[in-house]
Amino acid sequence: MGAAYYRAESESGDHIEDPSEDALFMLIDDLNDSDNTFVVIQPDEGDPAWFTSVAVLDEGGYEVVRRDTTRRAHDVATETSIDQIARDLTIWMAARDFPGRPTQHTVNC
């Protein structure tokens, strides 16, 4: 098994290394408004440069926070579609920097 680049962990203690879009969907779908109210996804390192979180809102829906200190980015949004959240986060995380991850090269033929 390869190195874990990031980790998703819910308030209830459920965690997944390098979660897929489907795994994020399941973690978010398991959230509730009593004892499992949020999930945090961040690099598996001591002082992560970025994180994202999803939290259940009292009035329904979810608060999605994305923060990347290397790019000076901080975004907070409200969303109701778990499918949309999982898809957006998967795309957002794919664009983050991961120390130790092989760089991707494009070959021009």
d(CA 3, CA 44): 9
Q: How many CA atoms lie within 13 A of 88 on its CB side?
A: 18
Q: Looking at this protein, which amino acid is placed at residue 32?
A: N
Is 99 domain-assigned? no
How do residues 54-109 score in pLDDT, each as one tens digit? 999 999 999 999 999 999 999 999 999 999 999 999 999 988 866 555 555 455 55
Q: Is residue 106 assigned to a domain?
A: no
Q: What is the pLDDT of residue 1?
A: 45
Residue 64 lies in a domain: yes
pLDDT in tens, 2-35: 557 889 999 999 999 999 999 999 999 999 999 9
pTM, whole model, 2 decimals?
A: 0.84
Q: How many domains does the chain have?
A: 1
Structure confidence at residue 45 as a pLDDT band (50, 70, 90): confident
Domain-embedded: residue 100: no
Give residue 90's pLDDT: 95
Domain annotation covers residue 77: yes
Is 102 within a domain? no
Segments forming the whole domain that contains residue 22: 6-94
- Residue 59 domain flag: yes
